[in-house]
Amino acid sequence: METRVIGKSVARKEGREKVTGRARYVDDLSFPGMLHGVTVRSPAARGRIRAIHFEGEIPWHEFTIVTARDIPGKNCIALLIEDQPCLAAEFVNHSEEAIVLLAHHDKYLLEEARRAVRIEIEPLPAIFSIEDSLARKEIIWGQDNIFKSFHVEKGDVDGACTGAAFVVEGTYETGAQEQLYIEPQGMIAQVSEAEGVTVWGSLQCPHYVHKALMILFGLPRERIRVVQTETGGGFGGKEEYPSMIAAHAALLARKSGQPVKIIYDRAEDMVATTKRHPSRTRHRTAVDLDGKLLAMDIDFTVDGGAYETLSPVVLSRGTIHAAGPYACPNVRIRSRAVATNAPPHGAFRGFGAPQSVFALERHLDRVAEAVGIAPDELRRRNFIREGQMLAVGQVVKEKVDMNGLMRRAFELSGFHVKRKQFAAENADGRGAVKKGIGFASFLHGAGFTGSGEEYLASEVAMEAIADGTVHILAGSTEMGQGTNTIFAQIAAEAMRLDCEQIKIVQPDTAYVPNSGPTVASRTAMIVGKLVETAGLGLLKLLTDGGFLQPGYTAADFSRACGEYVAKHGPLKSFVKYEHPRDLHWDDQKYSGDAYGAYAWAVYVAEVSVDMRTAEVLVNDFVAVQEVGKVINPVLAAGQIEGGVAQGIGFALYENVVWQEGRMVNAQMTNYVMPTSVDLPAIRVYFEEVPYGRGPAGAKGIGELPLDGTAPAIANAIAHATGVDVRRIPITAESLLEMLEPVHA
Amino acid sequence: MPERARKIRVSCVVNGEAASFEAYPMARLLDVLREELKLTGTKEGCGEGECGACSIEMDGALVNSCLVPALQAQGAKIRTIEGLAIGGSLHAVQQAFISHGGAQCGICTPGMILAAVNLLARYPQPEGTQIREGLSGNLCRCTGYMKIFESVLAAVRQGETRA
Amino acid sequence: MRAYLPAYEMETPRDLAAALRRMASEPGVWKPFAGGTDLMVLLEAGKLPHKKFLNIWNLAELRGIEVSPEHVTLGALTTYAEVQRHEILTRDFPLMCRAAAETGSVATQNRGTLGGNIANASPAADSPPALIVYDAEIEIVSARGSRWVHYASFHTEYKKMNLHAGELVRRIRLTRTHAGWKQYFRKVGTRRAQAISKICFAGAARMEAGRIADVRIALGSVAPTVLHAVRVEKLLRGQRPGSAILQAAQDALSAEIAPIDDMRSTARYRRHVARNLLAEFLEVLAA
């Protein structure tokens, strides 16, 4: 299908503002009379608040002080449920839990005051591990510490395991990972009788914040307004947490009568906000003599921290992705999200899938080894094909060619040659550096799971004004991934206009409809399709009314808009998501059509391991993926490159050091992400099998790279050193222990 | 309350123009630029000199403005991102960042662009490793650096590397 | 930014003598402030207890690199960037340049100074091992006069040094006796740039007829201060670098270092890697 604008690397819509320093992030804004706000947090992981002391030589009468008692509505940050308090009242359940809020115009005095608040807590026994939570060492949430569990079953797993030629078991673990957006979290709030509650800030989901504030303040919809400012990275870390910081700023604004700005510094952002859920996966896999999968028995657990937040959904995605792009007749997945006394874990690009895919792809290399065939041969014999059924019962109705992707990825990376060559060189034994090459094959479902998109019922509006400028009104946010630009491209393509003529309205709940959250790799595929439809709808108003003839030019379009508006008033179209009728999902059995479309991928990592220091360097990385349609090549490649970089961090560098449920390495000096010299050339290749329901055939791609990067690296390290990697991050310290005998 | 130090008056040149402000002597130059001079293009990412989002040029050298006390800006010649474009005309590096995808969320971009401009002033025809090393003090979470390198190389190819 | 700024004072003395007089007038009250790359980090974290600083950044008496036939003498305010740009240092003191290039980033190298690095006394600093290898001496000045100290004995315990109230580091003198020595520097950090060292090894040896005629070895991040591995040096002098002496040398090193577990690494890792870096150093000498 020939396209004019789609498929071109149209320059970033807000690029000029970003390269000149004129883009306005929340901390760049200042309001008259604005106060600064800070949060006083729990020093203990679990306990009862006995007293709050305001000490020091602080002029406390100058301060606005807010505690749970000041909350007009319900003391909760509403999300899936309402278990998480906005401010701890009687009990604390994680360290750094917010208890007191302070505001003052002098931000330096404010920090002094923060130090002078002493919270007296009577400690209660706390738990910090998945094992302790499952063992119910303490019950810290609900009846049994379990936020959510799933049981997916297909066929007869136990029967298939009996008498199988090989049964391979393994346990795999992943650690917490900090999103580390370079712009820390921040909000400005203003509360007035006239306007109600308004917040401006760094966020991904304005309507999530809107809903949370409605319940916190006990106010109706039209009395809450949420505006997204230019957002310096999110990656999921600004999906749910902004509701908390918005609530805090708004409570201070309400009590003080002034606008209040809260900006976290890096240390506070790291200790107090969400991280990727740590996980533990157990595999038991039965294969026949040829390595054909007979049964997969998977046990998957994620650590959700102290409150539920989004853990059930993270668990859901991790569960559905746990068995990968393979055809297996008998599958059992038992999974659960458990509570510990850590700050709640939350959304981070991949959202449960990076955890379960790491386990699967590492495990299958071990299964291949047990069978005595090459790891790629094992995959080849089991890749799913069109017409076959994935683990949760979704029949694959799209063209999928995993073998083709694998072939291409191997060609580009020199996989087979290097596999042999490195093995030979490493066997020499004397080299200080051993090299390895490994891969991962995987899929990622785009959009909300199952009936999720139907439940979201996303909406997009479009308005053309008299001069022919088209405004897109959507709740989807730009945070660097390119939302503004691809929406403009999609609309321009559908309406045969230039991108310059399309404007994206700043997400502001007073003006834009709820297009659902900017998460789950859904923005291009789901919301982009709504943009396309809205554009066609707007055109139809003009053509039906005789204002526009076929073969029109951009100038014709502008003239037509002017005439329409003069005659009829506002020229608007409005679209609401309709769930495809042929997608069926059973929430009870947790099976059926989980996603409208999947992106498919094979990633190859080449590493060198310095045997003296156990340092691992990724020397080359090839990422091949089938994504439906590439809307903007530069933006799409940018998504994969950036995602792979985060995946390399997940695999090798990013280690959260916990002490009593608190992150102790909460500085960029000590929580380490890759710099420009730590990363290889990341080579990205796309294939396109258009998805009928995506705009111009596009599927979602944002999270895909987080799934396959870490296991490809782990498999490469195993190839290089023979070490049986079971855990990420693979720190030099842990790798050295596995490489050398222990000295006394 | 501890005794209050007096604010000092500092005079310097910022983006080619005389600038003067009052600040506590150990106020961060980053905050002075943003709050006193209203130049919000320079960003805070970490407050510990690790991320480079606060990079500026001070007397021709790239520095982290979060680590410079206001008093030491006395008499200095400072350039921030706002001083890079001349008239309305973008610097080649800025233009390349737009056309080659060097900027995604944009928060690291001002510091990254200044670091790149500073690098090109020292190495007008940099090799790949020099670019990587020259930018290793500027962290980017969005791009994986690939398109940042491509943007810098595109600016070099343009032949325009005015300092 | 957590510090209570109004509590902090900073003055700019007009010259070194004025700075020293100010420091002497209220002993322990005024501390020198150079490039700020350590002190400002503490300030921002709200962890800088000291409140009064003298801005010495512009004091010409503390700048400049002098070259004589016997010595290269660096002003305390010499930045890491200046170290890397200096021709003689690059040629004759490569470990200084390696250490400077691996400290922080371009931006911190423009502001970080050798004097500040010495006075900050972090056991994880990268330049101190190189200074020890080059038999550095440092000149310490106060209102009462000046004295020279062997750098190898300057640091006494963790963050404690032979520097009294009212004194500051003025110059660092390196002896030009290491020309022709085989030299080795390796820093193992948390990543390849802008990393705090987990362990750092600096070594140099004069080889004669395949034997180690003289040797210097110093390590960072394996003890409360920079470590001068004198026992290993003693064992190696006169020996051929090779498998015969390796085990004994490694054991001597293990006995001399005292690494700890911290946020960045473990004692066990540091021990293993120290031994491996020593082996690598000996390979360089044998080549």
Beta bridge partners of C168: C141
Interior CA angle at A298 toward A295 and A302, to 5°? 165
The conformation of residue A346, written as its DSSP 8-state character, comes to -
**Does one domain contain both C15 and C44?**
yes
Confidence at residue B160, expressed as pLDDT on a 0 to 100 scale: 60
Per the CB < 8 A criterion, the answer to whether A665 and A671 are in contact is yes
C131 touches chain A (CB under 8 A): no
Quick one: CA torsion of A259, A264, A268, A272, rounded to 10 degrees? 70
* Nearest chain B alpha carbon to C56: B72
Give me the mean pLDDT over the A530-557 stretch: 97
Is the pLDDT reported for residue A742 higher than 50?
A: no
Confidence at residue A414, expressed as pLDDT on a 0 to 100 scale: 98
Confidence at residue C179, expressed as pLDDT on a 0 to 100 scale: 86
Interface of A with B in 353-372 (CB under 8 A): none
CA distance B48 to chain A (A): 8
Q: Which residue has the tokens 């959507």?
A: A474
CATH number (domain holding residue C41): 3.30.43
C2 in a domain, yes or no?
A: no
* Nearest chain B alpha carbon to A233: B105
* SS3 label, residue A466: coil
Q: Which CATH architecture has domain A15-23+452-576?
A: 2-Layer Sandwich (3.30)
Encoded tokens for C218: 């110093």
Is the pLDDT reported for residue A743 higher than 60?
A: no
CATH number (domain holding residue C268): 3.30.390.50
DSSP-derived pairing of the beta strands C52-55 and C9-11:
parallel
Write out A396-445 in H/E/C secondary structure. CCCCCCHHHHHHHHHHHHCHHHHHHHHHHHHHCCCCCEEEEEEEEEEEEE
DSSP-derived pairing of the beta strands A615-626 and A682-687:
parallel
What span, in angstroms and rounded, lies between the C-alpha atoms of C107 and B139?
A: 13
Q: Which pLDDT tens digit goes with each residue over A278-329?
A: 999 999 999 999 999 999 999 999 999 999 999 999 999 999 999 999 999 9
Give the relative orientation of helices A415-427 and A402-413 as an angle to the nearest 10 degrees: 50
> How many other CB atoms are there within 10 angstroms of residue C22's CB atom?
17
Quick one: CA torsion of C141, C144, C150, C151, rounded to 10 degrees? -40
The conformation of residue C2, written as its DSSP 8-state character, comes to -
CATH topology for the A279-449+589-739 domain? Aldehyde Oxidoreductase; domain 4 (3.30.365)
**Does one domain contain both C112 and C131?**
yes
**Does one domain contain both C31 and C91?**
no
Q: Which helix (H) or strand (E) holds A296?
A: strand A293-305
Q: Which pLDDT tens digit goes with each residue over A123-151?
A: 999 999 999 999 999 999 999 999 999 99
Interior CA angle at C11 toward C7 and C15, to 5°? 160
* Chain C residues touching B5 at Cβ < 8 A: 5-9
Per the CB < 8 A criterion, the answer to whether A206 and A510 are in contact is no
C1 in a domain, yes or no?
A: no
Per the CB < 8 A criterion, the answer to whether A309 and A274 are in contact is yes
DSSP-derived pairing of the beta strands A64-66 and A98-104:
antiparallel
What are the backbone dihedrals phi and psi of residue C195, each rounded to the nearest 5 degrees, phi first? -125, 145
Quick one: CA torsion of B103, B106, B109, B111, rounded to 10 degrees? -170
Residue at which a domain ends, from C175, C202, C229: C175
B45 touches chain C (CB under 8 A): no
Q: Any idea where the domains of chain A sit in the sequence?
A: 15-23+452-576, 31-124+180-272, 279-449+589-739
* Chain C residues touching B48 at Cβ < 8 A: 41, 44-45
* Chain A residues touching C6 at Cβ < 8 A: 108
- ω into A729 cis (within 30 of 0): yes
* Residue A1: pLDDT band with limits 50, 70, 90: low
What span, in angstroms and rounded, lies between the C-alpha atoms of A624 and A688?
A: 11
* Chain C residues touching B26 at Cβ < 8 A: 3, 5, 8-10, 43, 53
What span, in angstroms and rounded, lies between the C-alpha atoms of B43 and B51?
A: 10
> How many other CB atoms are there within 10 angstroms of residue A37's CB atom?
28
Its sign, for the CA torsion B45, C194, C257, C228, is negative
Its sign, for the CA torsion C85, C86, C92, C97, is negative
Beta bridge partners of A539: none
Question: Mind listing the pLDDT tens digit of every residue in chain C (287 residues)?
Answer: 999 999 999 999 999 999 999 999 998 999 999 999 999 999 999 999 999 999 999 999 999 999 999 999 999 999 999 999 999 999 999 999 999 999 999 999 999 999 999 999 999 999 999 999 999 999 999 999 999 999 999 999 999 999 999 999 999 999 999 989 999 999 999 999 999 999 999 999 999 999 999 999 999 999 999 999 999 999 999 999 999 999 999 999 999 999 999 999 999 999 999 999 999 999 999 99
Q: From the list C7, C35, C44, which residue is nearest B5 (CB)?
A: C7
Q: Which residue type is seen at A318?
A: G
CB contact under 8 A, C279 and A612: yes
CB contact under 8 A, A641 and B44: no
Q: Which pLDDT tens digit goes with each residue over B24-65?
A: 999 999 999 999 999 999 999 999 999 999 999 999 999 999
* SS3 label, residue A484: helix
Burial class (CB in 10 A: 0-12, 13-18, 19+), A424: exposed
> Hey, do A31-124+180-272 and A279-449+589-739 end up sharing a CATH topology, with the first three levels equal?
yes
Confidence at residue B1, expressed as pLDDT on a 0 to 100 scale: 58
CB contact under 8 A, B43 and A11: no
The conformation of residue A505, written as its DSSP 8-state character, comes to P
DSSP-derived pairing of the beta strands A117-123 and A47-54:
antiparallel
Which residue from A49, A100, A93 is spatially nearest to A70, judged by alpha carbons? A100
Distances (CA, A) of A272 to A264, A295, A400, A645, C286: 10, 41, 42, 24, 53
Mutate to test the interface with B, among C106, C108, C113, C191 (most CBs of B within 10 A): C106
Q: From the list A20, A59, A638, which residue is nearest B104 (CB)?
A: A638
Its sign, for the CA torsion A421, A422, A426, A432, is positive
CB contact under 8 A, A108 and C3: yes
**Does one domain contain both C43 and C120?**
no
* Chain A residues touching B146 at Cβ < 8 A: 637-638, 641, 681-682
What are the backbone dihedrals phi and psi of residue B18, each rounded to the nearest 5 degrees, phi first? -60, 135
Per the CB < 8 A criterion, the answer to whether B40 and B53 are in contact is no
Per the CB < 8 A criterion, the answer to whether A705 and A638 are in contact is no
What are the backbone dihedrals phi and psi of residue A341, each rounded to the nearest 5 degrees, phi first? -90, 50
What span, in angstroms and rounded, lies between the C-alpha atoms of A322 and A718?
A: 21
Q: Which pLDDT tens digit goes with each residue over A664-675?
A: 999 999 999 999
CA distance A698 to chain C (A): 37
Distances (CA, A) of A5 to A605, A721, B147, C257: 33, 48, 21, 64
Its sign, for the CA torsion A45, A48, A54, A56, is negative
Q: Which CATH architecture has domain A31-124+180-272?
A: 2-Layer Sandwich (3.30)
Quote the mean pLDDT of chain A: 97
Encoded tokens for B145: 């650096």
* Chain C residues touching B64 at Cβ < 8 A: 37, 107-108, 111
**Does one domain contain both C78 and C45?**
no
Is the pLDDT reported for residue B163 higher than 90?
A: no
CB contact under 8 A, A672 and C263: no
Neighbours of chain B (3+ CB pairs under 8 A): A, C
> Could you tell me which residues of chain C have a Cβ less than 8 Å from any Cβ in chain B?
1, 3-12, 33, 35-37, 40-41, 43-45, 51, 53, 55, 57, 81, 104-108, 110-111, 192-194
Mutate to test the interface with B, among A110, A675, A679 (most CBs of B within 10 A): A675
Count structural domains, chain C: 3
Q: Which residue has the tokens 């304005």?
A: A206
Q: From the list A111, A112, A672, which residue is nearest C190 (CB)?
A: A672
Quick one: CA torsion of A396, A402, A403, A407, rounded to 10 degrees? 160
Give me the domain span that covers residue C16. 7-55
* Residue B162: pLDDT band with limits 50, 70, 90: low
Confidence at residue A247, expressed as pLDDT on a 0 to 100 scale: 98
* Chain C residues touching A665 at Cβ < 8 A: 263-264
Residue at which a domain ends, from C22, C37, C55: C55
Q: Which helix (H) or strand (E) holds A485?
A: helix A483-495
C196 in a domain, yes or no?
A: yes
Confidence at residue B158, expressed as pLDDT on a 0 to 100 scale: 87
Q: Which pLDDT tens digit goes with each residue over A635-656?
A: 999 999 999 999 999 999 999 9
Which residue from A667, A669, A666, A650 is spatially nearest to A658, judged by alpha carbons? A666
What span, in angstroms and rounded, lies between the C-alpha atoms of A134 and A467?
A: 63
* Chain C residues touching A675 at Cβ < 8 A: 191-194
Q: Which ranges constitute the DSSP H helices of A169-310?
A: 206-217, 241-256, 266-272
What span, in angstroms and rounded, lies between the C-alpha atoms of C130 and A495?
A: 67
For chains A and C, CB pairs below 8 A equal 71
CB contact under 8 A, B101 and A9: yes
Q: From the list A265, A675, A743, which residue is nearest C193 (CB)?
A: A675
CATH number (domain holding residue C164): 3.30.465.10
What span, in angstroms and rounded, lies between the C-alpha atoms of A692 and A629?
A: 10
Per the CB < 8 A criterion, the answer to whether A374 and A366 are in contact is no
Is the pLDDT reported for residue A744 higher than 60?
A: no
Quote the mean pLDDT of chain B: 95
* SS3 label, residue A169: strand
Residue at which a domain ends, from C175, C206, C227: C175
Confidence at residue A524, expressed as pLDDT on a 0 to 100 scale: 97
Encoded tokens for A199: 């917040």
Please give the domain boundaries of chain B with CATH numbers for all domains.
8-83 (3.10.20.30), 92-157 (1.10.150.120)
Distances (CA, A) of B128 to A76, A685, B110, C103: 51, 22, 21, 21
CB contact under 8 A, B49 and C7: no
What span, in angstroms and rounded, lies between the C-alpha atoms of C254 and A519?
A: 52
Its sign, for the CA torsion C193, C199, C202, C207, is negative
Q: Which helix (H) or strand (E) holds A662?
A: strand A662-663
Per the CB < 8 A criterion, the answer to whether A155 and A329 are in contact is yes
A738 touches chain C (CB under 8 A): no
Burial class (CB in 10 A: 0-12, 13-18, 19+), C245: middle
C214 in a domain, yes or no?
A: yes
> How many other CB atoms are there within 10 angstroms of residue A477's CB atom?
26
What span, in angstroms and rounded, lies between the C-alpha atoms of C104 and C85?
A: 16
Residues 6+ apart with CB under 8 A from A374: A368, A419
